[in-house]
Chain A
Amino acid sequence: MAQEVIFRARGLSKIYDMGEVKVQALRQVDLELFAHEMVVFLGASGSGKSTLVNILGGLDTATAGEVLYRDRDLTRADDRELTEYRRHHVGFVFQFYNLIPSLTARENVAIVTEIACQPMTPAEALELVGLGGRMDHFPAQLSGGEQQRVAIARAIAKRPAVLLCDEPTGALDSQTGVIVLEALETINHDLGTTTAIITHNVVQAEIAGRIIHLKDGEIARIETNTRRTPARELQW
C-alpha cells in the first residue's frame, strides 16, 4: 500500500557556528517519515539524532536544506508559525520529563489540552498511560517512570500527528523503561500517532518498524524491521 508521507527532508544540514570552531551536526540528510509508523533513530552519542529530531519538531532550524511537514515548509517558518505548529501537531517527550512542578499530573496534561483544538480529556490521556489513579499528584509525589508517563500523556493528549521522543528511557532503569516504551507502543497502536524514538540502545530499537542508523551527522542506513518485538519482551 502507498504510505502517506508526513515528513520529507532534503539535503538537511546543521552547522553549529561557535566562533573559531564550527560543528557540523547534520550533513545532507534526506529522509521520509510515514504516517502511523513507529521509527527509531539509533546512533552513538553525538551522531546528530537530537539535532535531527529537534528540527523535525520545530524546536530548531536547519542551516541548509528543507523539511516539509505535510505541505508545510518548516525551514522557512518564523517563530510564530513554529509555535503554532508545535501547539497543534507535535508531541514531545524528553529524557528529563520537564513537567511543571507547580501543577498536578492532571493539570500538567490540561495545560496542553486547554490550548489544543480537539484534545482528549486529561483523564483519558492519563488512563492511556496507565496513570488513571494518580491524576491529582504533583510531580514531586511521582516516581521517575510515572513522571515520564505523565509527560507522554501530556504529549499525546492533543492527539498530535507526530510524537517525538528523545531518549525517553534514558533516565530510567530497564524495568521502568519497559513500562514507558509499552505506553508509547499503545499510543502508536491505538491512536495511530507517528512515533519517532531516539535511543542509543540497540535492544530498544527492536520495537520499531523502521530503524534509522545515524553516524557523524549522516544516515548510515535504514533498516526495515519486519519482526517487531513487543516492548514487554525486551530486556537490556
Chain B
Amino acid sequence: MATLGALDRKLLRDLREMRGQAVAIIFILVAGVAAYVSMASVMDTLQHTLDRYYEEYAFGDGFATVRRAPEEVAERLGTTPGIVQVQTRVVAMVNLEIAGYDDQVAGLMVSVPGDRQPELNRLFLRTGSLPAAGRENEVLLNEVFAEAHGLCAGDTLAAVINGRRRTLQVTGVALSPEHLMQVQPGVLFPDPERFGVLWINRSALAAALDMRGAFNDVSFRLAPKADVRTVIDQVDLLLAPYGGQGAYARADQGSHRMITEEFNQLRGMAAVLPSIFLAIAAFLLNIVIARVVSLQREQIGVLKAFGYRDRAIGWHYVKLVLSITCVGTVIGMALGVWAGRALGTVYLEFFRFPYLEYALNPPVVVTAVLLTSGAALIGVMRAVRQAILLPPAEAMRPAPPSLYRQTLVERLGLRRFLAQPSRMILRNIERRPFRALFAVTGVACACAILVMGLFFVDSIDHVVHFQYGIAQREDLMVSFFEPAPTAALYELANLPGVQYAEPFRSVPVRLRRGHRSYQTGIEGIPANAYLRRVIDTELEPVPIPAEGIVLTERLATMLDARLGDEVVVEVLEGRRRTTRVPVSGLTQQYLGLAVYMEIEALGRLVNDGQALSGVYLLVDERYEDTLMQALRRRPRIAGILSQERAIRAYFDHAANFLLVYTLVLSLFAGIIAFGVVYNNVRVSLSERERELASLRVLGFTRGEIAYILLGESVLLTLLSIPLGIVIGSLGSDAYMKALETDMYTIPVVLTRGTYATAASVVLVATLISALIVRSRLNRLDLIAVLKTRE
C-alpha cells in the first residue's frame, strides 16, 4: 500500500510535469470527440424529430392527384387492401398578389375540412387558428411563406382562383409535415417568396373549382405490412377513369424526397466526416501517448530494478494515460452536446420542425469512448511493452545514442548551402523518419479535413454556374395552364423586352424498364434549342436526337438502361398512351433527373398535335418589369418562374449553416493541427533540452536555438501541406461519391482559396505552438540541464 502510494504520488507529479503534452493530447481528444458527438447527435436528433413529427401529424404514406373524382371513390379507396385511412382534398395552383411585392407569386391552395384538423397531414398551428367553418375567404399560411412576406393573422392577400380574383384574410400561420420543404412542382429548390402553400376551407375551394362532392387530390395511410407497389397499382387502376395522374408513395413525395436528400447529405457531413475526424484523433492519440510514455523509459527501468512487476508498471501508465484521456473525452462530450444543441437549433430554423427533440444515442457515446480510450490504451501498451522488454540496466540508460548520418540532401552535394543548424534540422528529421512521418501525417490529416470541409461552397457555385450558365440559359420560364397551340410562342416572342423565345413541352410520365420504374416528366425542346441545352458527359452542349429520349446518366443507371436500349414510357395525362422508346442519348446534369426529347417527337408520342406547355424567354433587363406586368395579365399563364432566383434563394439560406459547419470544422481541424505540432515540439524539447542548453552555453542566442527546434516543425508542416491537399482531394472525391443522390451529384471543385485557407489554418496552428514552446525555451535553465547525467 505504501509503495502504491509512492507510485500514485509519482503519477500526480508526472501529470503536472507533462501538463504541456497532456494539454496537447486533451486538445486532440476534445476536437475529435466534440466534432463527432456534435454532428452525430445532430443527425440522430433530426431523424428522431422527423419520425415523431410524421407520426404525430399523420403524414400520408401515399398520394395521388386526379382530374375530378366523386367523393364515393374515396370509400372504394378505403376498402382497397393495404389502405387503412383515406383523406380526400381539393387542391389548386393559384396566382397570388401580395401588396408591395411585384414578382409573380404562385400558391398551392389545399383544402382543410373546415373548423377541424384533417385526419391525415395535420397542421401544426404556429399562430392564429384554422379558417372558421363557413368562412369562404379565410386562409392559413405556411410559415416560410408568411415570413418571407411578413404576413400574419389579420393581413390580407389576393388570389386568382380559377380566373376569379378574391381577397383572402389570413387567420394564422402553420407548419405541415407535407410541406417541410415547400417546393413548387416543377422547381428544384424552395423559394418562399415566389411560392407558398395556403390552406382554405374545402367548401370554399370546392365552390370555386366546381368540385362540390368531389376531390382532385387524395392521400392515404398504409397498413403496417402493406406492399406499397401493389397498393399504388390498385389505386392507379381505381383512379384512372377519373383522370388519375399516377399515385406515388411517400418516398416520391416532393417535400419528403427533398428532406431525405438533405438528410443523406447531412448524414455524409455529420457522420462520415466526423467519424474520419474521430479516427484521426484516435490515431494521433495513440502515437502521441506512445511517445510520451517512451520518454519515461529510464524511470520504467528504475521501477523494474526495484522489483516492480511488469503488470504494476503497465497499470501505472494506464492510469496515467486514462486520467488524461478521461478529462479529454468528458470535455469533448460536453462540448459536443453543447455544439450539437447549437447546430440543432440552426437546423430547426432551416427545416422548420415544430419542435426539436435533442437525442444523443448511446451508440454515439459508446463509439466515442471506446475508440478514444482504446487508441490510448494501445498506445500506452505499445510503449510500456517496449520499455519492459529491455533488461532494467539497459532501460535505465537513455535510449542508445542514435547514429546520425549525413542526410540525402547533403549526400546530393547540397551540403555547402546548409549551415550547421539547418543540417541539424535535416539530420534530426532523417534520423527519426517515423516521427517525422507521424508529424507530417497528423498535420496533413488536419489539412485534409479542412479541404474536405471547405470545397463545398465552391462546388455549389460551380453547379449553379453550370446549370444556369450552360444548360439552362433562359431568364424566365412561362408555363401555361393547358397545353397551348404553337401560336402562343409567337405571341410571347413579340412582347416588348423579349429577346428570344423558345417553346417547351413537359409531359408527366412513368418510365419502366424491367422491374425498375421512375416517375418523372419528359421535357420536349426544339432540335436547335438555344436556351435549354442538352449537355453531354464531356460537359459540351450537343444537339438533341430527332427520335428517342435522352436520359440523365444517373437516371439511366437507375433504370439500368444503356444507349440504344428501349424503355417503356407510360404517359400520365391525356390519352395515357404506353409506348416503347429507344434511349438515344445520355446527358450529364448535376441537379435533377431530367428526361429530354425533341419537342415534335414528344408531340407524336403523346399524340395530341404540337401543343406547348410553356415558353422559355430571354429578356432584356430594362423591360423586365413591363414584361412581367404584360405576362401577368394573360389568363392562360399559370406561372412565370426564374429558376436561378429560386436556387440562389435556397443556397443563400443553406449558406448559413454551411458557414457554421465550415467554421466548426476549421476550428476543430486547427485544434488537431495544434495538438499534433505542439506535442511534437514538446517531445523534441524534452529530448533535446540538453543539446539546446549546450548550444546556449556555446554562445548561441535564444533565436538561434529556437530556429533549430522550431525550424523542424515548420519544415514538417510545410511538407505536410501538399500531402494534406492530396489526401483532402482524394477524400473529397470519395465523400462526394458517398453523398450522390437521385436529385443531384455535386462535383468536387477545389480552388486556390480552399488550399490557401487549409494551409493557413495549419500554419497558424504551427506558429501558435511554436510561440508557446519558444517562451519555454527562453526559460531554459542552462546549468541544471548540464548538471544532469547524459
Contact = CB atoms under 8 A, between A and B. Distances in A.
Given A60-B783, A80-B701, A100 B694 contact: yes
B786 A101 contact: no
Interface string A69-108: 0000000000110011111101010101111111100010
B401 A111 contact: no
B789 A96 contact: yes
A18 to B, nearest CB: 13
A105 to B, nearest CB: 12
A101 B402 contact: yes
A112 B789 CA distance: 23
Interface residues of A, number: 35
Nearest to A89: B699
A155 B420 CA distance: 16
A173 B647 CA distance: 85
A107 B423 CA distance: 9
A139 interface: yes
Contact of B424 (A94, A103, A138, A139): A103
Contact of A138 (B405, B420, B693, B790): B405
Nearest to B428: A102
Interface of B is mostly: helix
B698 A86 contact: yes
Interface string B411-449: 000000001110110011001000000000000000000
A154 interface: yes
B202 to A, nearest CB: 86
A114 interface: yes
Contacts of B786: 94, 96, 98
A59 interface: yes
A220 interface: no
Contacts of B700: 83, 87, 115
Nearest to B429: A102
B696 interface: yes
Contacts of A112: 698-699
A115 B421 CA distance: 11
A78 B10 CA distance: 37
B695 to A, nearest CB: 7
A86 B699 contact: yes
Interface string A39-67: 00000000000100010010110000000
Contacts of B423: 102-103, 107
A110 interface: yes
A115 B699 contact: yes
Interface in A193-224: none
A102 B427 contact: yes
Interface in B742-790: 782-783, 786-787, 789-790
B783 A111 contact: no
Contact of B790 (A83, A92, A98, A111): A98
A124 to B, nearest CB: 17
Contacts of A59: 697, 782-783
B420 A103 contact: yes
Nearest to B699: A87
Interface string B393-420: 0000000111111000000000000011
Among B404, B427, B431, B700, max chain A CB count under 10 A is at B404
Contacts of B695: 100, 111
B690 interface: yes
B691 interface: yes
Contact of A154 (B693, B698, B782, B783): B698
A204 B702 CA distance: 36
Contacts of A107: 420, 423
Contacts of B428: 102
A102 B783 contact: no
Contacts of B401: 101, 139-140
Interface in A113-132: 114-115
Contacts of A111: 420-421, 695, 698
Contacts of A138: 403-405
Interface string B700-716: 11101000000000000
A83 B420 contact: no
Interface string B660-695: 000000000000000000000000000000110111
Among A94, A101, A114, A139, max chain B CB count under 10 A is at A101
9 contacts: A59-B783, A86-B698, A96-B786, A98-B690, A102-B427, A102-B428, A103-B427, A111-B698, A114-B420
Given A112-B699, A139-B401, 16 more contacts: A59-B697, A60-B782, A79-B702, A85-B699, A87-B700, A92-B697, A96-B789, A96-B790, A99-B694, A100-B691, A100-B695, A101-B402, A102-B423, A102-B428, A115-B699, A154-B698
By Cβ-Cβ distance, the 8 closest A-B pairs, closest first, are A87-B699, A98-B694, A140-B401, A86-B699, A111-B420, A102-B427, A96-B790, A102-B404
Interface of A: 50, 54, 57, 59-60, 79-80, 83-88, 90, 92, 94, 96-103, 107, 110-112, 114-115, 138-141, 154
